[in-house]
Chain A
Amino acid sequence: MTTGGIGESPLRPDGGLKVRGQYAYSSDLWLENMLWGATLRSPHPSARILSVDTSAALAMPGVHTVLTYKDVPGENVYGLKLQDTPVLAEEVVRYQGEPVALVAAEHPETARRAVKAIKVEYEVFEPVLDPELVAHSPDAPQVHPGGNLVRHQRILKGDPDATADVVVSGVYEIGMQDQAFLGPESGLAVPDGDGGGVHLYLATQWLHVDQRQTAKALGLPVEKVKLTMSGVGGAFGGREDLSIQVHACMLALRTGRPVKMSYNRQESFFGHVHRHPAKMYYEHGATAEGDLVYVRARLYFDGGAYASKTPVVVGNGTTLGVGPYNVPNARIEAWGVYTNNPPCGAMRGLGAVQPTYAYESQMDKLAAALGMDPADLRIRNAMSEGSTTVTGQVVDFPAPVAELIQRVKDMPLPEPSGSDILQLPGGAANTTHGEGVVRGVGYGVTIKNISYAEGLDDYSTARVRLEVVDGEPVATVHTAAAEVGQGLITVQQQIARTELGVQQVVLHPCDTDIGDAGSSSASRQTYITGGAVRNACRAVRAKLQELAGSEDVPDIAAVLGDEVIEETREYHHRKTYPLDPETGQGNAHVQYGFSAHRAVVDVDTELGLVKVVQLDCAQDVGKAINPDAVVGQIHGGSAQGLGLAVMEEIQVAEGRIRNPSFTDYLIPTILDMPPMTVDVVERPDPHAPYGVRGVGEPPTISATPAIANAIRAATGLELPRVPIRPEYIIDLTDGGS
């Protein structure tokens, strides 16, 4: 009998190495004769490059090469959705931080100094900054040839102009959040010598998309560009776009030496995309009894200088734009645009974080207008199995939204705050002994699509090998799916143990020698790569049964002997379809995840300080393959949602990032995180392997509005913008309205 299969919580196989400091992250890699790479970046949000003089940098002792766009061997353009991003800027720079030139040197400090010695002459332009203005001004200066609109999508359902007894409206804004993974962008590129190819060791979310883009930029066939996963220090969407990949390979191929690149924290803030800031206009109409009649919304997403995942943000933002509620009539419209602000792309909760904040704010406003309890209003309108979404898609799997809300509502509330200053807003800073402190309770509920959407076939591949080693059967699982901390490696082992009845499951290094696994994003890997591992295991199992001549194989080692069984299988999720360009109708999504949060806050109304006292969550995960890891995802996701509610924002002024450091970009510490009660609900999805439902994103999304609504309940303020700053609460600015 095997242990550590599906439904148990075996320990992570990499835990021992990680606690010893021996797990090799991409920034830990080292080779005897390696050089260090560094990047020169644009200081301007918008400018023309008049000249680049690399001679002084090249003349510095210890500098091996300096490269510009002229040295890009292949196509100097890449992109996840649109091919619009140069590897190195040619004629113009479109954001502050855009890569312009590269250096390889003996010592990282030498490389940094050489970067400073490169002389670039710019003609500086007025940056394009306002996404809403851009969306409706075809004559605005063009960030890219062809215009500033990346995607516009409209969704119409029922009578979009319906009227209702009770109407509430609001304009909501969300600041630019950063993934703030702790492990910096880094990697080591090793030229393969006479073959003309390169082997890149790196931290990424999707090896094959990096491989394809890198090979194209290097002008090499994909088989000449091998990628191997190193330890990934968190991702959260921020490693979907290229960072060091092409740059490190260019430097390695030019110098013939291994080249390591590792951003420092400041460069990391410029070196990856962020969460789209948004401005959202919402109007909700309901009957006097509290039934939603219509939702009308306009959403503006600032994509910044390059498209990255902006088209997907518009797709998710509209299709999920009314939340997990039954809405008979709707007009939802979104614009994703180019500006000269920092580029925005994937972050956990992609395209759903912004509208959820807005529609959940609206639900509280509607409850107040109706004189109803906010949780009861949500339960009354909650979507369920059989509901039809605004795109006309029928939800043909469990959708226990009302149950999730009821579950968090029924959890015990914390005691009133006492006089212990450590428990009050401001904490050890000793800013209050309780005077001016008020408490509030708020709810947030979300719906998030799981896996890629709108017709994409984001499949995964797994190879499973079964053999006898030292008298024991051993299974080896090989996929290219990125372990980014979420515990996918543990899940793969669990599936193989359950499917094969083999205790020892070894994970082959993750690399491009196996077929595509798709990205570790969209909460999709347990579902999709889990499905591929299941399929490969079942193929191996069938061969084993054939060998044994029976269904039952009690002694695998005896049956197998010296035989080795190896099978490779893919998993493809069920088909989805593009949205109709005019009406936005279509079965766009594979599956939805749902979560509900209840937040309890204390607010010091004199200083505007907030203490989140308790944050509880109920989430439907379909089937918990590893219950402990599921809870860990909910904890961590909730923390990122808390960050967005009260502290996390990349502050951008005139296209420039003002706070690119952990001193000035705040993420929650252990003092900021309250105790959490987590209720994991399992309502299996009959369409998914084992009934699983994606877990990672929903808790990030619903935590933010729960906290914002709790602060509003405490203060009575409208607070239409997150993160909620102290000055909004004490009303020094119009952020508090």
Chain B
Amino acid sequence: MRVNVTVNGVERQADDVWPGESLLYVLRERLGLPGAKNACEQGECGSCTVYLDDVPVCSCLVAAGQAEGREVRTVEGLADGEQLHPVQQAFVDRGAVQCGFCTPGLIVAAHDLIERTAEPTDAEIREALAGNLCRCTGYEKILDAVRQAAAKKAGVA
């Protein structure tokens, strides 16, 4: 089948899509956007998180056909050209990245949190990121990064 989807503001078309393919597979293997990661394929780890019409989803759990005619925003679509988004910059600055495999999903989840919540408490940060597994960092520096990004957005840093 053919899937038409707007990805990071660009209308894209994928042909010969097998109906069992996920949105994640189409992004990674057919549209050249491997930023969203495949780590569990059952919605447990959050590594494949993307926006689907402004709502973060595990793209491994979304059938490609469900994205027909809709808008997708991936981790590749968050920076403004050379300028990293403050969430991305904070992850780099605060050492929240080690192997980095979970990072794209966490960036999207954290981006969504600070868009929705002006100055999230630690409890709110933990709740918002509870669906994203990281095996390297122990999460302490991820908390630091989200605090920094939220403060920057609130204009207090």
Chain A interface (Cβ within 8 Å of chain B)? Answer: 9, 11-12, 14-16, 18-25, 27-28, 30, 107, 109, 179-184, 231-236, 262, 264-265, 422, 428, 484-487, 628-629, 631-632, 635-640, 661-663, 667-671, 673, 675-676
| B 9-35 binary contact with A (CB < 8 Å = 1; else 0) | 000000000101100000011001111
Contacts of A22 in B (CB 8 A): 35, 76
Find the residue from B74, B84, B135 having the highest chain A CB count within 10 A. B135
23 contacts between A and B (CB under 8 A): A11-B93, A12-B92, A12-B97, A16-B84, A19-B91, A19-B103, A20-B75, A21-B36, A21-B75, A24-B34, A27-B38, A181-B101, A181-B135, A232-B99, A233-B100, A265-B39, A265-B40, A422-B123, A632-B138, A632-B141, A636-B98, A661-B42, A671-B126
Task: Verify B40–A107 contact, CB threshold 8 A.
Answer: no
- Chain A's closest residue to B74 (CB) is A21
Among A235, A422, A632, A670, the residue within 8 A (CB) of B129 is A670
Among A234, A631, A670, the residue within 8 A (CB) of B132 is A670
Contacts of B40 in A (CB 8 A): 265, 661-662
Among A14, A21, A180, A676, the residue within 8 A (CB) of B34 is A21
Task: Verify A20–B88 contact, CB threshold 8 A.
Answer: yes
Task: Verify A20–B141 contact, CB threshold 8 A.
Answer: no
- Chain A's closest residue to B36 (CB) is A21
Tell me how far the C-beta of B49 lies from the nearest C-beta in chain A, rounded to whole angstroms.
11
Task: Verify B97–A182 contact, CB threshold 8 A.
Answer: no
Contacts of B129 in A (CB 8 A): 670
Task: Verify B99–A639 contact, CB threshold 8 A.
Answer: no
- Chain A's closest residue to B44 (CB) is A662
Chain B interface (Cβ within 8 Å of chain A)? Answer: 18, 20-21, 28-29, 32-42, 44-45, 47, 74-76, 78-79, 84, 88-89, 91-93, 95, 97-104, 107, 123, 125-127, 129-143
Tell me how far the C-beta of B137 lies from the nearest C-beta in chain A, rounded to whole angstroms.
5
Contacts of A676 in B (CB 8 A): 138, 140
A-B contact sample (15 more), CB < 8 A, given A20-B76, A25-B34, A235-B99: A21-B76, A28-B28, A30-B29, A30-B32, A179-B135, A181-B101, A182-B45, A265-B41, A486-B98, A635-B138, A636-B136, A662-B44, A669-B130, A669-B132, A671-B127
Known pairs A15-B92, A20-B88, A676-B140; A233 contacts B99 (CB<8 A):
yes
Contacts of B95 in A (CB 8 A): 9, 11-12, 628-629, 631-632
Tell me how far the C-beta of B140 lies from the nearest C-beta in chain A, rounded to whole angstroms.
5
| Bound: A676/B84 CA distance, A | 29
Task: Verify A109–B20 contact, CB threshold 8 A.
Answer: yes
Tell me how far the C-beta of A490 lies from the nearest C-beta in chain B, rounded to whole angstroms.
10
| Bound: A11/B91 CA distance, A | 10
Among B34, B91, B126, the residue within 8 A (CB) of A670 is B126
Known pairs A661-B44, A669-B133, A671-B127; A19 contacts B97 (CB<8 A):
yes
Contacts of A629 in B (CB 8 A): 95
| Bound: A620/B7 CA distance, A | 48
Tell me how far the C-beta of A179 lies from the nearest C-beta in chain B, rounded to whole angstroms.
8
Q: 4 smallest A-B Cβ distances: which pairs? A: A21-B35, A485-B99, A635-B138, A233-B101
Contacts of A233 in B (CB 8 A): 37, 39, 99-101
| Bound: A733/B44 CA distance, A | 29
Known pairs A25-B37, A182-B39, A675-B140; A663 contacts B44 (CB<8 A):
yes
Known pairs A11-B92, A25-B37, A671-B127; A234 contacts B42 (CB<8 A):
no
- Chain B's closest residue to A181 (CB) is B135
- Chain B's closest residue to A16 (CB) is B92
- Chain A's closest residue to B103 (CB) is A18
| Bound: A629/B99 CA distance, A | 12
| Bound: A28/B91 CA distance, A | 21
Contacts of B130 in A (CB 8 A): 669-671
| Bound: A673/B137 CA distance, A | 10
Contacts of B100 in A (CB 8 A): 14-15, 18-19, 23, 231, 233, 485
Known pairs A20-B84, A233-B39; A632 contacts B99 (CB<8 A):
no
Contacts of A487 in B (CB 8 A): 98
Contacts of A628 in B (CB 8 A): 95
Task: Verify A639–B138 contact, CB threshold 8 A.
Answer: yes
Task: Verify A181–B99 contact, CB threshold 8 A.
Answer: yes
Task: Verify B35–A20 contact, CB threshold 8 A.
Answer: yes
Tell me how far the C-beta of A16 lies from the nearest C-beta in chain B, rounded to whole angstroms.
6
Task: Verify B20–A632 contact, CB threshold 8 A.
Answer: no
Tell me how far the C-beta of A214 lies from the nearest C-beta in chain B, rounded to whole angstroms.
23
Known pairs A19-B103, A22-B35, A181-B99; A236 contacts B75 (CB<8 A):
no
Task: Verify B45–A638 contact, CB threshold 8 A.
Answer: no
Task: Verify A183–B41 contact, CB threshold 8 A.
Answer: no
| Bound: A668/B89 CA distance, A | 25
| Bound: A131/B137 CA distance, A | 34
Tell me how far the C-beta of B40 lies from the nearest C-beta in chain A, rounded to whole angstroms.
4
Among B21, B36, B42, B136, the residue within 8 A (CB) of A485 is B136
Task: Verify B138–A673 contact, CB threshold 8 A.
Answer: yes
Contacts of B41 in A (CB 8 A): 264-265
- Chain B's closest residue to A11 (CB) is B92
| Bound: A631/B136 CA distance, A | 12
Contacts of A9 in B (CB 8 A): 95
Contacts of B104 in A (CB 8 A): 19, 21
Among A20, A182, A264, A422, the residue within 8 A (CB) of B37 is A182
Contacts of A184 in B (CB 8 A): 38-39
Task: Verify A632–B135 contact, CB threshold 8 A.
Answer: no
Find the residue from B21, B33, B40 having the highest chain A CB count within 10 A. B40
Task: Verify A670–B143 contact, CB threshold 8 A.
Answer: yes
